[in-house]
Chain A
Amino acid sequence: MRKILLPLAGLMILAVLLAACGSPSGVETVEVVVTEIVEVEVPTEGEVQVVNAPGYGEILARVQERGRVVCAGRTDLLGFGYLDADGGNIGFDIDLCRAVAAAVLGDPDAIEIVPVTAAERGPVIQTGEVDLLSRNVTWTSSRDAQWGNFTITMFYDGQGYMVRGDSGIESQDDMDGASVCVTSGTTTEKNLAADFRERGLDFEAVIFEDTASVYNAFFEGRCDVTTSDRSQLAAVQAGADNPDDYVILPMIISKEPLTPVVPHGDDQWFDIVKLVMYALINAENPAYGPITQATVDDVLASENIKGRTVLGAEGDWGYSAVGLDADALANALRAVGNYGEVYNRYMGPDGIAFTLPRGLNIHWTEGGLIYAPPIK
């Protein structure tokens, strides 16, 4: 044969490989459907598992088959997503993931936390690579359109500024010409620029790609101010060598409703996650018990109809429609407790991370914004 054979052989192998890797499936574009994720083993394994494009019910089926819920989270933010001494994942956002796992699989530890950078948050839920994005994500209209379905706000936060106590800064006007450290690619940097521009003030932006470098630079003195969600600032302040040297200024320059996100296209999974969140919130309502981690069985044994409905002992709170067991929510509550317990565990007066007053995050029965539809 001639000189064509070798390159031809190469091309044929390439073509066979490409063909073997699955073909584009016919996709209905009536509604926006999201893609499937498949964990492909490291190249030693054989064929790639090909699953059909998802729609209603696919994520739940996939989660049950896989045996765990994959959540995108953080491993470096005190209070929300960080590591304990043994390297295990803990935090407010992590507990939300565990609640979902407990409801769906019965085991709160059946989770896998995928650490993602701020830049990857969108793509990772857009592609459906993770089942739940529980990572301090601000709910905005454009993100809701682009990234995925935002469930329900679990933490009403706002962007603020942190400065050194001895700097004498009390308002933005004092910051004219200051150096401000901020993370790139976030709404934080946009809000910062907009705030200063509206006030006609100047600032020097010191921008890094990863958040750790931002706070590192601030503590080193490279900049005078740093800005972020106030909860994040509180976490960072608590983690500093000398927290009392720093002050979080009282003003809020932008709303930051932090909300867990699920991929577009699967309404069942959307409903499931929302139901779990509703359960956590409603459980704190005295009219439902209140149900705490410890008192789940007590409420089950009691006469409280609302409480028993949530726990699955009476009526249908919707579990048959979404394909869960009746006691799914009960399992979730047993795993992490109600909203107040989750909050206080990390950020309460005895919180293991730091103490941050609940502020707007108080239950609606006491005048705050934490509110959920009734479960019945």
Chain B
Amino acid sequence: MTETGNTQQASVNIRPPSPTKPVVWIRRNLFNNWFNSLLTLLALGMIYFIGRAVLEWVFTTADWRPVTDNPILYLVGQYPRDQLWRVGVSLLLVSFLTGMSWGKWRGIMRTFATLLAAGFVILAIIPVGGQMGSLTVRIFFLINLPAIFLGFLLGSRRFVTARWVLGGWLFSFVAIPFLLHGIGEGTVLPIVETTLWGGLMVTLILAVGGILLSFPLGVLLALGRQSSLPVIKGFSIVFIEGIRGVPLITILFMSSIILALFLPPELRIDRLVRALIGMTIFSAAYTAENVRGGLQAVPDGQIEAAKAVGLNKFQTTLLIVLPQALRAVIPAIVGQFISLFKDTTLVIIVAIVELLNIGKSILQSDVTYLQLQLEVYIFIAAVFWILSFFMSFASRRLETVLGVGER
């Protein structure tokens, strides 16, 4: 750490100051010139004042009652409380399948499983009231942890192939809406109308449903755009560019209200499904563009080789081109899922009660909540932030695991 300033002894003991010493680091990174020093001081001052004001507000002046009084509303909305076991079963199913995926594929799945488990632990221990604070619900959240672990154990077994796990997920995507909706009166699964569904549950259904349903549609559109048939190509281009050129709100509005006029009069669609259709159409156009990028990234040599081996066009596309294209495109798809997840807030326009809308309803339900908008909306913003941040985190991990961009 000695620094000789005298060049006469220049050959002796010239070592740069060790970068790990805090004082040196500060000097180098924060104060290396007068401009930076000024900035640092200003920034520090700003952080202190803003940070102190925020912390003071969060812990003293803020009235968190709309959040803590009945937090289960944020999760499931107006879902009948005596039927909540169905939501519980759905959650357990998802936990179990996540564990199984972890067991089967390790790697990136471990991140997902850990995040999920951490989420449940947090939900189980936060100090809130209402039904969510009850012992049953807390224990339920904790039960999901062994469910994940059980799934892991099962997934690691040799006889459980990837097909089982994928089949399990497919089954759950069909079974969960069915379970939540029910069959009919007098059975063990009375119908719970989608007008009663609300909160984070609806947000997730819209986001997951939207991305899943838009995927095949997007791939078809991308393929159509590359087709040499002018009619199909034209239609695909018009569809994609048209949807991308208008705001999502107009698409939701169209699917909710205008679409009813284009279909035969006998066909009526549930309101949540209409919103889902809108999100699907919107997402499909963007997916199509992503997949198109992936399709273009597949080297021509692959197609030529396939031709040489004797595969026809259909087989080439299905077996050679699409797998490579989609692999390159998965990070973009995940990114789009995160966008879609955030865009679900827009369904407030068509009176669907998702997470943001339930916050609004809660504010209106009690007259003493009138001044508490900041608390509720900051809370919702925080929930979105946490979920979105961790999804991005997992997505970045996914990119590293897939080795995308490193070839």
- Is A48's beta carbon under 8 Å from chain B? yes
| A-B CB contact pairs (8 Å), 21 listed | A2-B313, A3-B227, A4-B229, A7-B227, A7-B229, A7-B232, A10-B224, A25-B264, A36-B268, A38-B266, A38-B268, A40-B270, A41-B270, A42-B272, A44-B177, A44-B178, A44-B181, A67-B185, A83-B365, A112-B193, A212-B364
Q: Confirm or deny: A287 has a beta carbon within 8 angstroms of a beta carbon on chain B.
A: no
Does A240 make an interface contact (CB < 8 A)? Answer: yes
Q: Is the CB of A42 within 8 A of B273?
A: yes
The 0/1 profile, CB within 8 Å of B marked 1, for residues 210-243 of chain A is 0010001001100000000000000000011100
Please report A residues at the B interface, Cβ cutoff 8 Å.
Answer: 1-7, 10-11, 21-25, 27, 35-45, 48, 50-53, 67, 76, 83, 87, 112, 114-117, 120, 123, 127, 129, 212, 216, 219-220, 239-241
- Minimum CB–CB distance from B180 to chain A (whole Å) comes to 8
Q: Contacting B220 at CB < 8 Å: which of A10, A43, A48?
A: A10
Q: How far, in Å, is B145 (CB) from chain A's closest CB?
A: 29
Please report the C-alpha to C-alpha distance between residue A50 and residue B351 in the assembled complex, in whole angstroms.
27
What chain B residues lie within 8 Å of A51 (beta carbons)? Answer: 266
Assess whether B174 is interfacial by the CB under 8 Å rule. Answer: yes
Cβ of B2 within 8 Å of any chain A Cβ, yes or no, is: no
With both chains docked as a complex, state the minimum distance between the C-beta of A217 and any C-beta of chain B, in angstroms: 11
Q: Is B228 part of the binding interface, using a Cβ–Cβ cutoff of 8 Å?
A: yes
For the complex of A and B, 7 pairs with smallest distance between CB atoms = A35-B265, A37-B268, A3-B313, A44-B178, A5-B314, A42-B177, A212-B364
CB distance from B311 to the nearest CB of A (A): 11
In the complex, which of the residues B228, B265, B269, B313 contacts A40, with contact meaning CB atoms closer than 8 Å? B269
When the two chains form their complex, are residues B264 and A23 in contact, meaning their CB atoms are under 8 A apart? yes
Most central of B185, B265, B317 by chain A CB within 10 Å: B265
Interface residues of chain B, those whose CB is within 8 Å of chain A, are 78, 174-175, 177-178, 181, 185, 193-195, 220, 223-224, 227-229, 232, 257, 260, 263-270, 272-273, 312-314, 317-318, 351, 360-361, 364-365, 367-368, 370
A6→B368 CA distance, assembly (Å): 60
Given contacts A44-B175, A44-B181, 6 further A-B contacts (CB under 8 A): A3-B227, A6-B314, A41-B181, A112-B193, A127-B268, A240-B367
With A39-B270, A42-B194: A53-B263 Cβ-Cβ less than 8 Å: no
The CA-CA distance from A130 to B356 in the complex, in Å, is 27
Once the chains bind, are B360 and A212 in contact (CB under 8 Å)? Answer: yes
Expressed in whole angstroms, the minimum distance between the Cβ of A245 and any Cβ of chain B is: 13
CA–CA, A114 and B353, complex, Å: 13
A11 and B232 alpha carbons, distance in the complex (Å): 9
Which of B177, B268, B365, B370 sits near A43, CB closer than 8 Å? B177
- Kindly list chain B residues whose C-beta atoms are within 8 Å of the C-beta of A212: 360, 364
The chain A residue sitting closest to B373, CB to CB, is A216
Interface pair A241/B227, CB less than 8 Å apart: no
Q: How far is the CA of A25 from the CA of B229 in the complex (A)?
A: 34
CB-nearest residue of chain A to B322: A6
Cβ–Cβ < 8 Å partners of B272 in chain A: 42
Chain A residue numbers with a CB within 8 Å of B312 are 1-2
Complex interface: chain A residues within 8 A of B194 (CB): 42
* B101 CB to nearest A CB, Å: 22
Q: Are A76 and B270 in contact, with the CB atoms below 8 A?
A: no
Q: What residues of chain A lie closer than 8 Å to B270, measured between beta carbons?
A: 39-42
Q: Report the Cα distance A137→B318, complex, angstroms.
A: 56
Contacts of A40 in B (CB 8 A): 267-270, 273
Is A219's CB under 8 angstroms from B370's CB?
yes
Contact A38 B264 (CB under 8 A): no
The docked-state distance in angstroms from the alpha carbon of A123 to that of B260 is 10
Expressed in whole angstroms, the Cα–Cα distance for A11 and B368 within the complex equals 56
Known interface pairs A7-B229, A10-B220, A87-B78; A24-B264 also in contact (CB < 8 Å): yes
- Name the distance in Å between B110's Cβ and chain A's nearest Cβ: 31
Partner of B267, one of A11, A44, A45, A48: A48
Bound-complex Cα distance A210 to B224 (A): 41
Q: How far is the CA of A114 from the CA of B350 in the complex (A)?
A: 13
Determine if A22 and B264 form an interchain contact, defined as CB atoms under 8 angstroms apart: yes
Q: Which of A27, A43, A114, A116: most chain B CB closer than 10 A?
A: A43
CB neighbours (8 Å) of B185 from chain A are: 67
In the complex, residue of chain A having the shortest beta-carbon distance to the beta carbon of B357: A210
The distance in angstroms between the C-alpha atoms of A292 and B106, with both chains bound, is: 70
Q: Are B195 and A115 in contact (CB under 8 A)?
A: yes
A116→B271 CA distance, assembly (Å): 11
Given the complex of chains A and B, what is the CA–CA distance between A193 and B370 in angstroms? 28
Closest chain B residue to A49, Cβ basis: B266
Given contacts A4-B229, A7-B229, A216-B370, contact A35 B266 (CB under 8 A): yes
Max chain A Cβ within 10 angstroms of own Cβ: one of B185, B224, B257, B266 = B266
Determine if A120 and B265 form an interchain contact, defined as CB atoms under 8 angstroms apart: no
Residue of B nearest to A116 (CB): B351
Q: Which residues of A contact B370 (CB under 8 A)?
A: 216, 219-220, 241
A21 with B267, Cβ < 8 A, contacts A2-B312, A127-B260 known: yes
